[in-house]
Copies of this chain bind each other. A is one copy, B any other.
Amino acid sequence: MSTGPDVDLDAIAREGLMAPPGAVTPAHDGSGRVQLSFTVVGGQDRSVRVPPGVTVFDSASWNGIAIDSTCGGHGTCHKCKVRLDVQTPVSRHDRRTFSPTELEQGWRLACLATATRDLAVEVPPLTTRPKAATVGVGRQVILRPAVQKRYVELVAPSLADQRTDLVRLTDAIDDLEVTVDLAVLRRLPVVLREADWKVTAVVVDEALVDVEPGDTTADRYGIAFDLGTTTVVATLLDLSTGTPVAVASRLNKQQPFGGDVISRISATMMDPDALGRLQQLASETLDELALQVCTEGGVDPAHVYEVAVAGNATMTSLLLGIDPEPLGVAPFVMPTAHPPVVLASEVGLHLHPRARVALFPALGAYVGGDIVAGMLATGMDRDKRTRLFIDVGTNCEIVLSDGDTLVSTAAPAGPAFEGGAIRCGMRAADGAIEVVRVDPAEGTVVLGVIGDTTPRGLCGSGLVDAVAELVRVGLLDASGRFVTADAAKESLPLLADRLTQVGEERVFVLHRPTPDAEVADCVYLSQRDVRELQFAKGAIATGWALLLEQLGLEQDDVQQVLLAGSFGSYLSPASAIRIGLVPKIPVLRIVSAGNVAGEGAKMALLSVRERVGAATLLDTVEYVELSDRPEFNDRFVDLLSFPGGA
């Protein structure tokens, strides 16, 4: 595993996956971020930023840093040894693994050590070549990639043994069923003879994709893509070991066509050339990332034989060049739930010429392959607990399991979480306020800002934090209205001067660049911003409320809420509860699940069994269309208000 000098760490940080060294660390009260600085022995050092409460093991795993493990993070294999710079609680597994001196030196099992504050983590070199890899939310995957290699030394043909070249090869790799296409058949006779009958067969699923001279079994790679509407993440995996070799992310190059799926679908409806252009941009995005991770990992792109792509239905259609219009207009119909197997070259990737693309199947037009991947990564169908999975975004996908039955739906949350339609809104980039803490006694407003720089605007998690804090301290009432200036002066005198107006609209000033700056030059939260957030969270809450009803459950039956996606994972669980975005349950039951779509894509690459599991999910999970539910509107109105309290 290496991180080459070409990695644009800043770009990755802007996408919210990692923070550059020295990023601000807010108070660790169960919200905000903590920073983990990994020193990898024999590898490249890396810093990552995660919500507090995530284990050191998961923090590493989400960011492509390999730590020894065979049990999948359950504390049983005692292999995931790391050394921390501070004393964290010692578990009984730690005691059985380490000597008192080692414990004193900071050695802990990474899967049991929770990051509740900034940590420096020393990671020993990998000692095992794992037969299993840990991915997703504590999911352990037995390695059985679709990509298989077999080195064989064949007996040369003779008049007494005139078996065909193909039969000679397949007889020698008879543990695999293979089909052969014309391109490989053209190479086969030449390579067999040039390599003196010593070759490596490369098989993906049941397709013989190449015959390589000599023994190339050590070179077996795949790339897992999380093809998001906003951000695309690529992880290069060594399929022999299950180890991530390099990770990279960048903005989806389709951005100029609009920030959300609807605007991109609209573009194709208005301009006949837009579909081709969007397809091209999706290809370029993936191809640039593929080249980047290969360069970074020192891997020849020709040794990448498969990629897995988890994307929503629109992203998947656009990548494949399929007209997305039916996804965008009622009754929201997909071309197919199971995308066909295509060659990576067909979608513009410059990898092995016959590398294949495994695309995740989709449940519905708005519960796409990214969510199926997320369900796989979080084991939604294998956990007996009542769990709620929420991928927060412009389109919010929700899955509920009572440990037996699975239901899913999509809620149109609108652009608020992406910073859209918010007066001072911006994406989660440098200068965006992402954490807000209001102290009424001190009269202070503490801000966590991405890039540790001057605040320029408010991103989605900052918006949620700001509203939650103002509800908590009483500057916003349960209906979402700012209290009167008089009431504010009376109850919160130290904060009352921040409550002012821009034009006719009431606002709360979060950051004033200079003491005498005009309000219009400040970063503020407006009354309309609050309304936007209310509509968004109302739609989401209506979604899970109706799903709970469908399974006959109450809010506090939910044993775990998984906040997923690059945005959802960075929400403050406390704030999410406070504004009613998630059911009102103890904060520790709210888990930031990380980039679960990308984790699901990794699982698909590492295990054909998991891939079958993804396909099975489609038969297991019922898709509930909310837009034709008569009770939707009443419920929505009920859920616009804020439950309040802390």
Whether A340 lies near B181 (C-beta < 8 A) is yes
Given A189-B322, A335-B188, A340-B180, the answer on whether A330 and B159 have CB atoms closer than 8 Å is yes
Q: Which residues of B contact A336 (CB under 8 A)?
A: 164-167, 180, 185, 188
CA of A164 to CA of B316, assembled, Å: 15
CA of A179 to CA of B340, assembled, Å: 8
Whether A342 lies near B189 (C-beta < 8 A) is no
Q: Which residues of B contact A627 (CB under 8 A)?
A: 159
Partner among B162, B185, B325, B334 whose Cβ is within 8 Å of the Cβ of A340: B185
Q: Which residues of B contact A637 (CB under 8 A)?
A: none
Given A158-B331, A164-B333, the answer on whether A325 and B189 have CB atoms closer than 8 Å is yes
Q: Which residues of B contact A165 (CB under 8 A)?
A: 326, 333-336
**Closest Cβ–Cβ distance, residue A461 to chain B (whole Å):** 33
Say yes or no: is A589 at the interface (Cβ < 8 Å to chain B): no
Whether B166 lies near A335 (C-beta < 8 A) is yes
**Closest Cβ–Cβ distance, residue A33 to chain B (whole Å):** 40
Say yes or no: is A284 at the interface (Cβ < 8 Å to chain B): no
Say yes or no: is A96 at the interface (Cβ < 8 Å to chain B): no
State the interface size on chain A (CB cutoff 8 A). 45
Cβ proximity bits A149-175 to B, threshold 8 Å, 1 near / 0 not: 000000001111111111100000000
* A165 to chain B: closest residue by CB: B335
Say yes or no: is A122 at the interface (Cβ < 8 Å to chain B): no
**Closest Cβ–Cβ distance, residue A89 to chain B (whole Å):** 50
**Closest Cβ–Cβ distance, residue A303 to chain B (whole Å):** 24
Say yes or no: is A287 at the interface (Cβ < 8 Å to chain B): no
Q: Which residues of B contact A181 (CB under 8 A)?
A: 340
CA of A189 to CA of B329, assembled, Å: 13
* A180 to chain B: closest residue by CB: B340
CA of A322 to CA of B164, assembled, Å: 13
Partner among B164, B337, B628 whose Cβ is within 8 Å of the Cβ of A167: B337
Partner among B162, B331, B346 whose Cβ is within 8 Å of the Cβ of A333: B162
Whether B323 lies near A189 (C-beta < 8 A) is yes
* A279 to chain B: closest residue by CB: B186
Partner among B179, B180, B185, B335 whose Cβ is within 8 Å of the Cβ of A164: B335
Say yes or no: is A364 at the interface (Cβ < 8 Å to chain B): yes
Q: Which residues of B contact A323 (CB under 8 A)?
A: 186, 189-190
Q: Which residues of B contact A188 (CB under 8 A)?
A: 335-336
Q: Which residues of B contact A623 (CB under 8 A)?
A: 162
**Closest Cβ–Cβ distance, residue A131 to chain B (whole Å):** 33
CA of A227 to CA of B325, assembled, Å: 46
CA of A159 to CA of B409, assembled, Å: 13
* A275 to chain B: closest residue by CB: B186
**Closest Cβ–Cβ distance, residue A621 to chain B (whole Å):** 14
Q: Which residues of B contact A182 (CB under 8 A)?
A: 320-321, 340, 342, 346
Say yes or no: is A118 at the interface (Cβ < 8 Å to chain B): no
Whether B157 lies near A335 (C-beta < 8 A) is no
Whether A333 lies near B160 (C-beta < 8 A) is no
Say yes or no: is A95 at the interface (Cβ < 8 Å to chain B): no
Whether B331 lies near A159 (C-beta < 8 A) is yes
Q: Which residues of B contact A337 (CB under 8 A)?
A: 164, 166-167
Given A180-B336, A331-B157, the answer on whether A320 and B162 have CB atoms closer than 8 Å is no
Q: Which residues of B contact A330 (CB under 8 A)?
A: 159
Say yes or no: is A193 at the interface (Cβ < 8 Å to chain B): yes
**Closest Cβ–Cβ distance, residue A148 to chain B (whole Å):** 20
CA of A158 to CA of B332, assembled, Å: 8
Q: Which residues of B contact A186 (CB under 8 A)?
A: 320-323
Cβ proximity bits A336-352 to B, threshold 8 Å, 1 near / 0 not: 11011010001000000
CA of A323 to CA of B365, assembled, Å: 47
* A342 to chain B: closest residue by CB: B182
- Give the residues from 589 to 607 in chain A that come closer than 8 angstroms, CB to CB, to chain B: none
* A193 to chain B: closest residue by CB: B326
Q: Which residues of B contact A157 (CB under 8 A)?
A: 331, 333
* A184 to chain B: closest residue by CB: B340
Say yes or no: is A288 at the interface (Cβ < 8 Å to chain B): no
Given A185-B320, A189-B322, the answer on whether A163 and B333 have CB atoms closer than 8 Å is yes
Q: Which residues of B contact A625 (CB under 8 A)?
A: 159, 162
Q: Which residues of B contact A162 (CB under 8 A)?
A: 331-333, 364-365, 623, 625
Whether B335 lies near A189 (C-beta < 8 A) is yes
CA of A375 to CA of B330, assembled, Å: 57
**Closest Cβ–Cβ distance, residue A249 to chain B (whole Å):** 26
Q: Which residues of B contact A179 (CB under 8 A)?
A: 340
CA of A320 to CA of B334, assembled, Å: 37
Q: Which residues of B contact A364 (CB under 8 A)?
A: 162
- Give the residues from 293 to 324 in chain A that come closer than 8 angstroms, CB to CB, to chain B: 320-323
**Closest Cβ–Cβ distance, residue A163 to chain B (whole Å):** 7
CA of A325 to CA of B192, assembled, Å: 13
Q: Which residues of B contact A160 (CB under 8 A)?
A: 628
Cβ proximity bits A241-285 to B, threshold 8 Å, 1 near / 0 not: 000000000000000000000000000000000000000000000
* A357 to chain B: closest residue by CB: B182
Most interface-central of A160, A161, A332, A334 (chain B CB within 10 A) = A334
CA of A590 to CA of B346, assembled, Å: 55
* A330 to chain B: closest residue by CB: B159
CA of A189 to CA of B330, assembled, Å: 14
Whether A334 lies near B164 (C-beta < 8 A) is yes
**Closest Cβ–Cβ distance, residue A358 to chain B (whole Å):** 14
* A163 to chain B: closest residue by CB: B333
Cβ proximity bits A185-228 to B, threshold 8 Å, 1 near / 0 not: 11011100100000000000000000000000000000000000
Given A320-B185, A340-B185, the answer on whether A628 and B159 have CB atoms closer than 8 Å is yes
List 19 A-B residue pairs with CB atoms under 8 Å apart, sorted by A's residue number. A158-B331, A159-B331, A159-B332, A159-B625, A160-B628, A162-B331, A162-B364, A163-B333, A164-B333, A164-B335, A164-B336, A164-B337, A165-B326, A165-B333, A167-B337, A186-B321, A189-B323, A190-B323, A193-B326
Using A162-B333, A165-B333, A166-B337 as known contacts, list a sample of 7 further A-B pairs with CB atoms less than 8 Å apart, ordered by residue number in A. A159-B330, A162-B365, A162-B623, A179-B340, A180-B336, A186-B323, A188-B336
